[in-house]
Structure 1
Amino acid sequence: MNTSTKLTVVLLLVVVSITSLKAQDGLLQQKNWLAANSSSDLLKASYASNTSWEEKQAMVSEEWQPTPAPAPHIDKYYPRRGTDNFINVYVGLNNYLEDDKIPSSNSLYSLDPINSWYLGLNLDNVTHVLGPLYLDWGFGFSWQEYGYQNTRTRIDKGDNSITFYEEMDISGRKSKMTVSYLNVHMVPTFSFGRYRSFRVGFGMFAGYRIYSQVKYKYDDVDGNKQKDKYKDNYYINQFRYGFRGTIGWDFFDLFFNYEITELFEDDVTAPRLNPISFGVIF
């Protein structure tokens, strides 16, 4: 099961759980109403011996109405006091900077932005500090794919070195590196106003690498489709940290991550790359 499929399954389970809870809440409200109104003239009439089952149900349904859920507002996201928590999904794109610039398209490790996805699942919290100041903090997982623009790009892990080279005798279809992390973040945020408010935050995040691999899809010299997958650390930094910025309005939020630590370990001969990620928070 690939990363996208896993995330889809998680989201479906969350939706099913919410739907089930809403249905159970409706049944509980109806049960409580029946208990509170068991002596009412309407209820007695609805259960008279000469009343059919369909008529009983119709009379009860007309009398009982579920309590409407409160309309969503910004206080559920940025509370007046205390802490509110929720599950967020992060969807975006990855790239990296080399000497403060995106690598040239002629480079073997330059990325195809459309095939370099960032997917995250977080338990996020917002704590009111003072006035418009809040602390956005939380933890979660992220899956980051670095899809190389040259689909014949290969990675060679040598003795304390990482080398990118091009495999010439194939027809490449996909070449990518995938890295997953366990992350934490703390972002001081200003929220201006109670309802549909504009907000902006800037803080730090850190991560611990838990998985990494490279994957190649290609046609060999005989035209047969092949797929290779290699799991290894590839001298990717075990720990990372960097800056995180967020900006939002109403239910819409954007995030931007810049890693101070480089992708590969400092004492390894490898390209010096600082990953960046940006996207939407759902």
Structure 2
Amino acid sequence: MKNTQIKYRRMKSLIALLALLVILPASASSIALSNTKQDTVIIELNNNSKIVIITKSRDDLASLENYDINQMVKDLNNQLSDSVEYMEIKDGKAYVNEDDEVEMKDWKINDDEVRIKLGGVEVDVDTDEMDRWDEDDWEDRKKVTYEADRVDKTTHHFNVDIGLNNWLEDGSFPAGNSPYSIKSFGSWYVGLNSTNRTWVGGPLFLEWGVGINWYNWKLEDPDYIIQEGANEIEFNLAPAGQNGTKSKLTASYINATFVPMFDFSRGRRKITSIESGGIRIKKYSRKGFRFGIGGYAGYRIGSHTKFKYKEDGDRDKDKESDNFFLENFRYGLRAQIGWKGVELFANYDLNDVFTSNRGPINADGNNASLSAISFGITL
């Protein structure tokens, strides 16, 4: 039944349809076959619900005997919610009656299975079935694509922030000739986040959770070494004979975030389910436009410097772990904006990277106040 499209107006009609399909001969009080059109068959049920079958010829109608309609309806019932108005089934081979028919399960994880969730993709792997899986199984995969308006009170997902970071001095990036000027490309920001999404009402959601992230500040001039001095963080030129190739400061934090989000699609999602042997894949794609601004707070759990250089033709590196006068606590503002499957973020720390009067000495001879900033994409 390739390219079949099924529209559902109300869940009540679907529930009645499921019950009556199973005991159709006994429970349908009146079944009328409309012969007014050769390519249309209408089955009327006793609760004002109908099954409409549209075919191009009588031969196509007869071919329906090869399909497991009961299994198809059961699968739809497992996937649908009260507000689903449209569902499309692709690859009708998934429902052909065969001796070795495989039932589509409810995607409940078993003890011998592995589940991986990343962003909008969920993968279940049954290791026992995978031992018997081959590439021919993929040709007979089951695929269901549909749009759902269901809004769960709270959903959980794991995502990854990947982007770039820098720091600002008095609202501007440090001058290019400054020892602590940051090289934008290569100063990576990475965050691993466990996030919950709670529906408040209407288009308003709250995204909240915890995670771990890493700042990597890579110096524009790799000949400077980042060192902890007696009174402040220092950026000193490498000794003669050492030609720097990379110099960076890395700090890791554990964070809590809280971001109110306006989702104008009101949680609407496109969902694609694929099953083949021991592999089950479920992909979620958000719909419409959304944005939000919130806050975060974090605590530093580690920091180190790394200096790579060449000396007498040999490559070498020095790595040192310390606190480097970094603030233990950080807090700031987070903005998120998304369109369908794309999600962007930006973070701005409201406090300084280094403790008061411990920042690097600037051109005016004062301790520079540096604020961390990062931006990128959420996967």
Aligned to 1:216: 307
Q: How does 1:53-202 map to 2 (within 5 A)?
A: 68=143, 71=146, 80-169=151-240, 170-193=242-265, 194-195=268-269, 196-202=287-293
Residue 115 of structure 1 aligns to a residue whose secondary structure is coil
Residue ranges of structure 2 left out of the alignment (5+ in a row): 1-114, 131-136, 270-286, 361-367
Code of the residue aligned with 1:216 in structure 2: it is F
Q: Quickly say closer, same or farther: Cα 1:198–1:227, change in 2 above 3 A.
A: same
- Name the structure 2 match of 1:278: 375
Relative distance call for 1:187 and 1:281 in structure 2 (3 A) is same
The answer to whether the aligner puts 1:237 opposite 2:334 as a matched pair is no
What's the CA shift for 1:266?
Answer: 1.4
Q: In 2, Cα distance between the equivalents of 1:157 and 1:242?
A: 25
Q: Give the count of matched residue pairs.
A: 228
Q: Which has the larger radius of gyration?
A: 2
Residue 185 of structure 2 aligns to a residue whose secondary structure is helix
Q: Which amino acid aligns with 2:199?
A: H
> Quick one: distance in 1 between partners of 2:260 and 2:128?
36
Q: 1:167 to 1:122 in 2, by over 3 A?
A: same
Deviations 1:219-248 (A, max 9, x none): 12x222111000000010000000000000
Of 260, 263, 273, 2:350 maps to: 260
Give TM-score scaled by structure 1 length. Answer: 0.74
Q: CA deviation at 1:207?
A: 1.1
CA distance in 1, matches of 2:117, 2:334: 28
Contact 1:74–1:197 (Cα < 8 Å) also in 2: no
Cα offset, 1:26, TM superposition: 8.2
C-alpha distance in structure 1 between counterparts of 2:310 and 2:346, whole Å: 36
1:81 Cα offset (Å): 3.8
Q: Quote the offset at 1:24 in angstroms.
A: 6.8
Identity %: 39
CA distance in 2, matches of 1:164, 1:90: 29
Alpha-carbon deviation of 1:178? 0.8
2:375 aligned counterpart, secondary structure: strand
TM-score, normalised relative to structure 2: 0.56
Equivalent-residue separation in structure 2 for 1:133 and 1:239 (angstroms): 29
Conserved 8 A contact 1:187-1:201: yes
Which runs of structure 1 show a deviation greater than 3 angstroms over 4 or more consecutive aligned residues?
13-19, 22-27, 65-71
Structure having the higher helix fraction is: 1
Are the aligned partners of 2:348 and 2:371 in contact in 1 as well (CA < 8 Å)? yes
Q: 1:115, CA displacement in angstroms?
A: 1.2
For the Cα contact (< 8 Å) 1:255–1:281, is it kept in 2?
yes
Query: What is the one-letter code of the residue matched to 2:358?
Result: V
Shift of 1:66: 7.6
Separation in 1 of the partners of 2:155 and 2:145?
16
Alpha-carbon distance change, 74 to 273 in structure 1, aligned in 2, over 3 angstroms: farther
Question: Is 2:226–2:248's contact at 8 Å kept on the other side of the alignment?
Answer: no
Distance 1:225 1:74, change over 3 A: farther
- Could you give the per-residue CA deviations for residues 186-236 of structure 1, whole angstroms, max 9, x where no partner exists? 00000002351100000001111101000010012x222111000000010
Relative distance call for 1:74 and 1:198 in structure 2 (3 A) is farther
Q: Deviations over 1:26-79 (max 9, x none)?
A: 89xxxxxxxxxxxxxxxxxxxxxxxxxxxxxxxxx9xxx8875554x575xxx6
The secondary structure found in structure 1 opposite 2:177 is coil
Q: Secondary structure at the match of 1:176?
A: strand
Residue 130 to residue 227, structure 1, CA distance change in 2 (3 Å): same
Q: After superposition, what is the alpha-carbon deviation per residue over 1:77-98, rounded to whole angstroms, capped at 9, x for unaligned?
A: xx62410110101100001100
| Distance in 1 (alpha carbons) for counterparts of 2:128 and 2:296 | 38
Distance in structure 1 (CA, Å) of the matches to 2:155 and 2:148:
11
Residues 206 and 248 of structure 1: is their aligned pair in 2 closer, same or farther, counting only changes over 3 Å? same
Q: Which sits farther off after the overlay, 243-252 or 259-268?
A: 259-268
Q: Which residue identity lines up with residue 249 of structure 2 in the other structure? A: M
